Every structure is written in structure tokens, then in C-alpha cells.
Amino acid sequence: MRRLAPAGLAAAAWPRSRPDLRAARFLRALLRRVPRAGRACFLIAFVNAAIWGLVVPPFQVPDEIAHFGYAQYLAETGSPPPQVVAPPYSDEEQQTLQSLEFFNVIGRPELRGIFDRAEDRALRSAFARHPSPLGPGGTTSVTDQPPLYYALEAIPYWLSPSSNILARLVFMRLLSALLAACTVLAVFMFLRELFPHTPWSWPVGALVVAFQPMFGFLSAGVQSDNLLFLASALTLWGLLRAYRRGFSDRAAVAIGAATAVGLLAKLNFLALVPGIALALALLTWRERSRGRLPALRSLGCALLAAGIPYGVYALLNIYVWHRGGPTSGGIGAATSSALPSGEVITLNESLDYVWQLYLPPLWFMHHRYFATYPGWEIWLNGSIGLFGWLDYRFPLWVYEYCQYIFYALSALAIAALVRLRRRLLGMLPVFVCFGVMALGMLGSIGYTGIRFRLTSGTQFEQARYLFPMLVFYGAFAVLAARGVGRRWAPVLGGVLVVAAMALGLFAETLTISRYYG
Amino acid sequence: MRARVVLGLATLVVAGGLVLDMSRSAPRTAGSDHVAPLIFSASLPGAGSVCQPVVSLPRDAAVAQLTLGTYGKPVPALTLRFLTGSRVVAGEGRLSAGAHEGVVTMPLHARADAEAASEVCLYVEHPHGTTVVGGEGVPESPFSERVNGRTAPGQISLTYLRRGSESWWDLLPVLSERFGLGKASFFGSWLLALAALGLLGVWVAAVRLLARELGGASSG
């Protein structure tokens, strides 16, 4: 404290340096360009996600223990976990998990964690023994992942006013809430580009996303998906904006930077890269009227902005952190066609599986991978709500009604698409690129899914894997609202947002009854 | 105008739904020994006891739930006793003979020092056929069960319920306390109130934003 005070005084007394002022001016200008409604959506989404962070008990968001473990290791050592066979968590985390009865609670909806003061005292006395926060960094399900999200999480880890693990977790969860709010803002800006003449639709789509129950639930935890969702939304917004307003150098750098963030956030983002590359080629081709050289320069800016950070990461991974290849084994594991047993999965089997994962099987597909149609069970029901470590959900009637509502909204959205076809046709080329991105994502889920299923016998797929395409969830809500015609569209838009808020609210009460009731 | 009216009505419907949901009365849990009834983990041939360590007995526990199997026979008379470290009875429950096997509920009397309980014992009072108790298989350790004094590889499952039937409104003070446990102790039992207030703020802000943005559009 004595060391910090003079520095703090100095900062207050001395005039700010030029780069500081320039950055502040840039941020102010950036904020001014966001409509007031967008800023309001951002704040609403942030507070909503922060409340989710209070409601969900520590480590009850899927894989939060592994994500926290990675972030803690990085915060304590300055480097990502070394991928060795060793205990995965620090003594501090392991003892906290045991005191919280974590391993007895997950997957057992009838059991609760700490429920009375005596158990709480036992937890506090475990902290009093000051277990070490530095673990050996053993392999977990996320060790292969790039370190950007965890490096960002190291900031609240160290800024936390208390070194208690649960206090640190609160502040780390706030960063996830902030990323979720930024995602909602990106959805808002995307819709602004997509529907520039209907400003009422921007907050409608953004708030439908902000209150999406699974999105809210995930934003409660230390989970790198939150950065993946943001990077995907920013990339899609950047591409659409560049398509509509021109592929300037600045736009190209922004797209490249968003892509780099995605690549350094989670390996899943790699599935979007072919679509992004196609979109960049399209944008360059459209800019040829500006001259071939300026168009190629913009393309170069995008490639450099995406490639340099990823290249630096790859080099650090190999030569400084000694974590194997440039993607630390994650790609190798995800693209191998063989199972650990040596059995090879053929391309036909993979394609069959991917098809059946999203669509009803065709007549020539003799192998049935799923007992029920995954379109409802995994994707629709999963996105309505499958909470905790996949161990509690709404009553079944909620999913049935939501299915009927989904039918109705889909019909309305199709009607709106037909009505808006002339305007939307102009954007068809960039939407083809978005389609390639979506196909890449769907294909990669299936490709990994069949291998996981045949290795472990359990289901890999979760609805959250589709959330990199959240901007289209917002666009779907807007299209459905517009399906009823110009006069009633804002009214239905408002109803859809209140319905999303209600679903989010009851998801929170369900969570409270699951863990505290 | 239209949008504002519909927004107001929709919000009222949700508020009404929330009030109704919270007013539903049902038995509420008071805690458990954190063991699920996955298998029959303890077997008592005839009279005997199964004991195991517990962290505490919640003060508000009025009923204990166990999963019992008796191979089709009626469940024998049972006593469940919670003991402190100094062997003082911190809580006790008795079940007279004749209950059906399966999930069995037993009235429980928790004493003032219930939270000091460190061990629980289930006694089968009279010789009878074999009684099996639901729980989990765990390696033998100081934390596992002792069947008739011998350490065994399992733990029995106990769930505690509060007295009678309660709505969520009745349970709010208890929920507030539980909500603050097992977390960073910034706000203690005020945390739930803080979250509720924040949520109310979010709703007000969102509805106001929508009323402003949609109101003009729908009247235009």
C-alpha cells in the first residue's frame, strides 16, 4: 500500500501522456457512435449476467473448474499449463471443491452444496489452512486451448481485493459478464447493419439475446465460451459492415483483430475460418473498383491483423512454453480420423452422423445414431435450458410449449424473409459466406461428436456450441416480429423480449430452487 | 401506444406468474449428508446399527428420508440418532415397524445443538430379516460407514426435510441465509436481496427502454 500511494498520487498530479489521451479520445468517440439504445442494452446485459453470477454457486457452470484452473495457473506462473500428467488443480481449488461438496452436487439434482452454517464454517476453516494457489498444471479438458481468455481472467484474479479463491471467482465472473454484455452490444450493431431502417428492431434482437437463459447461465461462470461468442459476433458484424459500407483498411484491421481474438480464445473458432476467408475474398473482389492495389492492401491488413497475433502465439507455444505444436495438440486431436483404439471412422460415417445431428435421416442412411431427433432434444431444448452440469431443467411442458412457439415464430420469420426478399437479396453473397461459417461450425461439432461418442459412449453435443452464431438468434427474433406486418411488428417484438425476460427470470428461480431450495 | 400497453400487460402477466409460482406450497428440503441413494450400500442382517460421520444436522430438519429395502417384508422399527463429538444426542428420530420398503420418511427431533452433530447412527431395534440401506459405494476410510462397528465401503444417504409444507415466500428468510453460504462473504445473507433488487432494476430498465424504442415505432 505504501508503495502504491505515491504512484497513485503521481498519476493524479501529472498530466496524462499523449497516447493515454489519444486512447481516451478514441474510446469516447467510439462510445458516441453507439446509439443510446445500444449502450442501454449493454448495461442491462451486464447487470443481468452479473446477477446470474451471484445466483449460480461457485464452479456450477459446465467446466468452470477446468477454466478456473487454467486461469489460476496462468495468473500464478505467467504461462499456460504445461500439459503434463499431474493433478489438474491447485491445492486451493481442490480443497475448495471438496469443502463445497462440488463432486457430490454435480449430476445429482437431488443434492445440494453448502446448506447450513456448520458446513460454511468447515469451508472457511479449510481456507484458514492457506492451501497453495499454485498447482502443477496437469491436463484438463481445456489445457489444449489458447490462453487469451485466461490471460484476461488473470487481471481480475490479481485485482481482486481479497486473495480468497471465492472472492477472486466473483471478480473473474464479472469479466465473463462484461464479455457477455459486449456480445449483446455486437448483436445490436449487427442488427443495425442488417435492418438499418427499423431502429426499434435493434434493441429487440439484442435484448432477446441478453435474456436468453442459457446465454445468461453461461455468462455467470468463468468459461472461455464467453470470449468465443464475443469474437464470433464481432467478426460477423465486422464482415456485414464492411460488405455494406466498404472494405476500408480500418474495417479490415477490425475484422482481422476480431478473428485473432476468436482464434486465441477457443479452438472451436477455427471452424469459422473458411467462411471468414471466403468473406474476405468476396470483400476484396467487391472493392476492385477502388483499384486492385487498395483492395489487396485491405485484404493484407485483415490477414496481418489476424495472422500476427496467432503467429506470435504459435511461436510462444512451441519455443517458450514447450506445448507441442502451434495449436498445442488440440487440432491434432480434433482432426484425427482414428479413435484411440485404432479404429478408423470413415468419411461416410462422419457425414452420416453430421447429417443426423441436425436433420432427419435419409432413406439410405441405415445406421441410426440417435434414438430421438436431436433437433429438438439437443438443440432446441438444450438452448431453452439445460443448466448446471447438465443436471436440471424446466418442467417438460415448458419445452413442449416452446416447440409450438418456435414453429409459429419460424413461420412468421419465413413470411418476413419473403416480404424483405428484395432488400435481403442484395446481401445474399455475404450471407452465403455466413452460411459457410455456420456449416463449418455444424460440421466441426459433428466431426468431434462422433469421435467423442464412440470413444466415451456419452453425448458430446450441447446447444451452447451453436452460440457463436448468436447474432442470427437476434435476427430470427426480429424477423419473426416483422412477420406480422409493419403495424404490429414492434408490439410482437416487445412481447418476444418480455417472453425472453420471463424465461430468463424463471431459469433463475429454477436455479435458486435447485441449489438453495 | 399499442406497444406500451402490450408491454405493460405482458409484464403484469409475468409478475402474476412469478407470484403464483412462489405461492405454491410443498415440503422443502433442510439439507442432506451429501450422499445420493445410488445403490444399497449397507446391509443389516437382523438387529444392528450402521453409523457414519456427518458434518452437522441442520437445525430446521424435522423429517429424515432414507431409502430402505427389506425384500418385500415390512420395515422393522428404526431409530436414527445424531451424536456430538462428546456423545451427546443432538437429534433423534423413530419409526415404528410396518412401513413399506422404498423411500421412508421418519419424523426427527433436532435439539438446540443439532449443528454440533458429528456422527449419525441408524439402529434396527429387533431381530428381523435383512434390511438394506440406500447410499453410495466409497472406499473404506474414517468417513465411510461402520456396520455393526466394522468399517464398510459405503455411505448411507440421508435427506432432511423441513416441517410441513411451505411456499417460497415462507422460505425466503431461509433462502436468504443459504444464498450467502459457500460464497465470497461480501454481503452475507443480504446477497439474495441484492440480486433481487438488481433483477428488478434490470426489468425496469429493459421495459423502459422498450417502451421508448417501440412506443414511437408502433404509433408511427
pLDDT category at A338 given cuts 50, 70, 90 is low
Res. A335: pLDDT tops 80: no
Structure-block grid coordinates of residue A324: 507441442
Q: Which residue of B has its CA nearest to A46?
A: B202
**Local structure of residue B73 (DSSP, 8 states):** S
Size of interface A-B (CB pairs under 8 A): 171
pLDDT value of position B220: 43
pLDDT score of A9 more than 80: no
Mean pLDDT, range A241-267, rounded to an integer: 97
Q: Cβ–Cβ of B32/A111 closer than 8 Å?
A: yes
Sequence-distant (≥ 6) Cβ neighbours of residue A323 within 8 angstroms: A80, A82, A83, A317, A329
46-85 in B: which are within 8 Å (CB) of A? 55-56, 58-59
- Rounded (5°) CA angle A130-A136-A141: 110
This prediction has a pTM of: 0.92
B70 in Cβ contact with B131 (< 8 Å): yes
User: In this structure, are residues B77 and B94 in contact, taking their beta carbons and an 8 Å threshold?
Assistant: yes
* Chain B interface includes A303 (CB < 8 A): no
Average pLDDT over residues A188-194: 98
Judging contacts by C-beta atoms under 8 Å, the chain A residues touching residue B36 are 104, 108, 110-111
Alpha-carbon distance B202 to nearest alpha carbon in chain A (angstroms) = 6
Query: What is the pLDDT at residue A324?
Result: 73
- CB of A237 closer than 8 Å to CB of A186: yes
Flag whether pLDDT at A330 surpasses 70.
no
Cβ separation A509–B14 shorter than 8 A: no
Find the helix packing angle between B191-219 and B168-180, rounded to 10°. Answer: 110
By the 8 A CB rule, do A510 and A394 touch?
Answer: yes
B219 at the A interface (CB within 8 A)?
A: no
Q: Which amino acid is at A475?
A: A
List, as ranges, residues 78-117 from A with C-beta within 8 Å of B.
100-101, 104-105, 108, 110-117
Helices A165-194, A64-77: axis angle to 10 degrees equals: 110
Q: Is there a contact between B181 and A506 if contact means CB atoms under 8 Å apart?
A: no
Q: What is the pLDDT of residue A328?
A: 58
Q: What rounded mean pLDDT belongs to chain A? A: 92
CA A354, A355, A358, A360 dihedral sign is negative
Amino acid sitting at position A24: A
**B82 by DSSP, 3-state: which?**
strand
Residues of chain B with pLDDT under 50: 220
In angstroms, rounded to a whole number, what is the distance separating the alpha carbons of residues A137 and A132? 13
Q: Quick one: pLDDT at residue A34?
A: 94
DSSP code of residue A63: T
Residues 6 or more apart in contact with residue A266 via CB below 8 angstroms: A145, A146, A149, A224, A225, A227, A228
Given CB atoms, is B100 within the 8 Å cutoff of chain A? Answer: no
In chain A, residues with a C-beta closer than 8 Å to the C-beta of B206 are 44, 207, 211, 497, 501
How far is the alpha carbon of A494 from chain B, nearest alpha carbon, in Å? 6
Q: Does B134 touch chain A (CB under 8 A)?
A: no
- Give yes or no for A343 touching B (CB within 8 A): no
In order of A505, A514, B30, the CA distances from A510 in angstroms are 9, 6, 17
Chain B closest CA to A513's CA: distance in Å?
9
CA distances from B157 to B36, B43, B59, B184 (A): 5, 13, 18, 29
Binary contact (A505, B194; C-beta < 8 A)? no
For residue range A134-182, list pLDDT tens digits in order.
999 999 989 989 999 999 999 999 999 999 999 999 999 999 999 999 9
Chain A touched by B197 (CB under 8 Å): no
Report how far residue A69's alpha carbon sits from residue A78's, in angstroms, rounded to the nearest whole number. 13
Question: What is the mean pLDDT of the segment spanning A365-369?
Answer: 86
Confidence (pLDDT) at A331? 54
Chain B residues lying within 8 Å of A100, measured CB to CB: 182
CA B201-B17-B183 angle, 5° bins: 50
- Give the minimum alpha-carbon distance from B167 to chain A in angstroms, rounded to a whole number: 11
Query: Quick check: B194 and A54 CB within 8 A?
Result: yes
Share of chain A above pLDDT 90, in %: 80
Q: What is the pLDDT of residue A340?
A: 62
Phi-psi region at B129: left, alpha or beta (left = phi > 0; alpha = psi -120 to 50): beta
Residues of A in contact with B54 (CB under 8 A): none
Partners of residue A169 in chain B, C-beta under 8 Å: 184
- Rounded to 10 degrees, what is the CA torsion of A96, A97, A102, A104? -100
Closest to A517 (Cβ–Cβ): which among B2, B28, B210? Answer: B28
Q: Please indicate if any CB of chain A lies within 8 Å of the CB of B198.
A: yes
Which residues of chain A neighbour B214 with C-beta distances below 8 Å? 200, 204, 490-491, 493-494
> Nearest CB to B205: which of A40, A58, A112?
A40
Query: Residue A343 above 50 pLDDT?
Result: yes
A30-64: b or e for each residue (b if 16 or more CB lie within 10 Å)?
A: eeeebbebbebbbbbbbbbbbbbbbbbbbbbbbbb
pLDDT tens digits, A446-489: 999 999 998 888 899 999 999 999 999 999 999 999 999 999 99
